[in-house]
């Protein structure tokens, strides 16, 4: 049998787990050990199948064969000719290359951890004028003529600016951005605006998708098949799931694993770019599934919502990422299963993730945004995301989507082989879907959203401060501090003081703030300090528990909406 046919047979059998399938997988893996594969597409197909089998092994023998096959993969890539290797560019496979315009935090992390494997892919960079202008801002005034018309230009300047130091262009640019003393948000935005293509050559263990596995304490074997049965998600969320705060070393290892998992797939996530190593939670969810929830550094958190991103590992293999952000009992949930693992236990994974988020936030309503369902997302459409969530119990409330869903369900009942075409899937993805738990919002589509509060703040700053945001922040912090009895904030940790100032723009919206009871005012101070504290979970619980604050903001949002509607008509 040819290498291509061996690979296709293994891929077809990978997610099947009968005793005959297990024997076939073992025989195919052994046959592939000495098989030379020169076609890059076939080699990539083998790679993805091996990754799946490493996450979902049938037994110890198959896992040994899979581990061995993946360990030899760098050599397989090296045996390909240069032309064939180029066809694996951007694959994230060991000993290949990829490039992506990573933002500053990820570019810095890559340059520090892989200094000899990262550089700027200048051949793919075109905006030379913008780089000249940016460097003129980062360099000293005395060097400014280097970037003017007729000057040496950025290429020669980079060579001169290194002096005798052995730096890559990437390392030098990162150094310039770090030492200029810009506010972090400004620095990161300026770097990202350049869209520099960062070239990375993943090598070695833990630096590619091929060798990304973190050996688990115990492997779960799937000799009895994959868990794909129906799920009663509401019932499942009544069962508690144990969470533990990760020790510092484990937290650092999980953050690194999350960054590699994303970078090798040319993706980034805010929480993985600005992680808080002191706020990493870990849950072992059974069947070899470990869930890692990563909080954000206080100064980079969302303005109002509580938020944790996650990395899911199956038998030590990163298989999924996403996040959950929560406000006043409603969790917005997003999960992305990496393409290699979508034939696995996705429903089980989503269920365990939501059990963990229930433990973190205690939400009573769960929302999935329409982008996750396929709105402006070809990947979500192709993966059948709407029906995935529908099987878990999520339901639309938008009348137009409800009508389309009813028509499609009637067609499926009449013909079980029927599949909704892409145009219909796009219509189904036209609005968010909900899972309502006991005590949840009766009309979650009408819930208070963070963007509603943001609009209130913007209107307040425009009316009361003529758009002067620094003055608005200073005045609000002073006024809210007086009303809440929190004038003396100097002894507080710096992050808590900054969080108080930022949230004071929200608290200042409330006209009767000074008339609240002492308990309510002290509770609001605790909420505002917690936004800059060590745990997003604590902040979210304190925020959700402040009923007076919630009622006040909901009333302001309703009043603003009514005013806006009347002004339109």
Which of these three, 18, 52, 86, is where a domain ends?
A: 86
CA nearest to 253, candidates 210, 311, 339: 311
pLDDT at 293 over 70: yes
Q: Express each pLDDT in 432-475 by its tens digit.
A: 999 999 999 999 999 999 999 999 999 999 999 999 999 999 99
- 454 and 321 both lie in a single domain: no
- 462 and 401 both lie in a single domain: no
pLDDT of residue 569: 41
Give the mean pLDDT of 496-511: 97
pLDDT of residue 183: 94
Contact 43, 210 (CB under 8 A): no
Q: How far apart are CA 49 and CA 66, in angstroms?
A: 9
pLDDT at 38 over 60: yes
- 270 and 386 both lie in a single domain: yes
- 67 and 130 both lie in a single domain: no
- 160 and 114 both lie in a single domain: yes
- 283 and 354 both lie in a single domain: yes
Q: Which domain holds residue 468?
A: 450-568
Question: Does 227 reside within a domain?
Answer: no
Q: Could you give the C-alpha distances from 277 to 113, 163, 242, 254, 314, in angstroms and in order?
A: 17, 36, 20, 9, 22
- 429 and 487 both lie in a single domain: no
Structure tokens at 494: 């710096």
Question: Does 208 reside within a domain?
Answer: no
* CATH number of residue 296's parent domain: 3.40.630
Residues near 471 by beta carbon (within 8 Å), at least 6 away in sequence: 465
Q: What is the dihedral of CA 363, 365, 371, 374, to 10 degrees?
A: 120
Structure tokens at 472: 């608005």
Residues near 442 by beta carbon (within 8 Å), at least 6 away in sequence: none
Question: Does 434 reside within a domain?
Answer: yes
- 408 and 261 both lie in a single domain: yes
- 326 and 435 both lie in a single domain: yes
- 277 and 149 both lie in a single domain: no
Question: Does 218 reside within a domain?
Answer: no
Give the mean pLDDT of 2-13: 94
Chain mean pLDDT for the chain? 94
End-to-end CA distance of the chain: 74
Q: How far apart are CA 49 and CA 10, in angstroms?
A: 7
Number of domains comprising the chain: 4
pLDDT band at 562; cut points 50, 70, 90: low
Percent of the chain with pLDDT over 90: 91
Give the mean pLDDT of 463-489: 96
- 74 and 105 both lie in a single domain: no
pLDDT band at 206; cut points 50, 70, 90: confident
The better pLDDT of the pair 565, 147 is held by 147
pTM: 0.94
Which of these three, 86, 106, 135, is where a domain ends?
A: 86
Backbone angle region of 464, left / alpha / beta, with phi > 0 → left and psi within -120 to 50 → alpha: alpha
Question: Does 91 reside within a domain?
Answer: no
- 356 and 478 both lie in a single domain: no
């Amino acid at each position: 049998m040819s290498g291509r046919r061996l690979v296709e047979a293994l891929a077809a059998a990978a997610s099947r787990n009968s005793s005959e399938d297990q024997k076939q997988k073992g025989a195919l893996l052994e046959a592939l050990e000495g098989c030379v594969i020169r076609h890059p597409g076939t080699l990539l197909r083998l790679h993805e199948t091996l990754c799946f089998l490493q996450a979902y092994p049938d037994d110890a023998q198959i896992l040994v064969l899979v581990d061995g096959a993946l360990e030899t993969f760098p050599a397989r890539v090296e045996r390909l000719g240069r032309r064939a290797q180029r066809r694996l560019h951007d694959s994230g496979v060991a000993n290949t290359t990829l490039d992506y315009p990573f933002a500053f935090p990820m570019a810095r992390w890559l340059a520090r951890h892989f200094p000899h494997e990262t550089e700027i892919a200048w051949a793919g960079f075109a905006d030379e004028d913008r780089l000249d202008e940016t460097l003129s801002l980062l360099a000293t005034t005395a060097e400014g003529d280097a970037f003017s018309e007729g000057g040496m230009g950025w290429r020669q300047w980079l060579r001169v600016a290194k002096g005798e130091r052995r730096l890559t262009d990437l390392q030098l640019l990162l150094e310039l951005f770090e030492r200029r003393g810009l506010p972090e948000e400004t620095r990161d935005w300026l770097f990202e605006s350049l869209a520099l293509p960062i070239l990375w050559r993943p090598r070695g263990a833990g630096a590619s998708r091929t060798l990304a596995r973190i050996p688990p304490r115990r492997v779960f074997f799937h000799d009895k098949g994959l868990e794909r049965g129906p799920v009663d998600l509401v019932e499942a969320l009544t069962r508690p799931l144990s969470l533990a705060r990760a020790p510092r070393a484990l937290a650092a290892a999980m953050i690194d694993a999350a960054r590699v998992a994303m970078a090798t797939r040319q993706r980034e996530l805010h929480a993985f770019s600005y992680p808080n190593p002191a706020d990493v939670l870990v849950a072992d969810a059974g069947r070899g599934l470990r869930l890692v929830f990563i909080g954000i550094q206080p100064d980079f958190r969302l303005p109002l919502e509580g938020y944790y991103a996650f990395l899911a590992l199956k038998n030590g293999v990163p298989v999924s990422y996403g996040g959950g952000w929560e406000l006043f009992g409603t969790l917005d949930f997003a999960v992305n299963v990496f393409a290699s693992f979508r034939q696995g236990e996705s429903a089980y994974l989503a269920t365990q993730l939501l059990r963990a988020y229930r433990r973190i936030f205690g939400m009573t309503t769960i929302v999935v945004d329409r982008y996750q369902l396929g709105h402006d997302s070809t990947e979500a459409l192709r993966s059948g995301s709407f029906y995935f969530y529908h099987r878990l119990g999520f339901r639309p409330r938008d009348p137009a989507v409800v009508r389309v869903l009813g028509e499609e369900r009637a067609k499926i009942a009449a013909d079980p082989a029927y599949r909704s075409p892409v145009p219909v899937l796009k219509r189904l993805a036209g609005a968010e879907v909900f899972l309502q738990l006991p005590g949840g919002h009766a009309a979650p589509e009408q819930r208070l959203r963070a963007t509603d509060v943001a609009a209130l703040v913007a209107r307040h700053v425009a009316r009361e401060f003529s758009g002067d945001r620094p003055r608005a922040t200073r005045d609000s912090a002073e006024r809210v501090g007086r009303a809440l009895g929190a004038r003396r904030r100097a002894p507080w940790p710096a992050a808590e003081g900054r969080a108080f100032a930022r949230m004071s723009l929200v608290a200042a919206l409330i006209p009767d703030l000074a008339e609240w009871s002492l308990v309510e005012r002290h509770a609001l101070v605790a909420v505002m300090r917690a936004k800059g504290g060590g745990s997003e979970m604590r902040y979210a619980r304190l925020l959700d528990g402040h009923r007076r604050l919630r009622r006040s903001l909901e009333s302001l949002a309703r009043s603003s909406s009514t005013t806006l509607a009347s002004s339109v008509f």
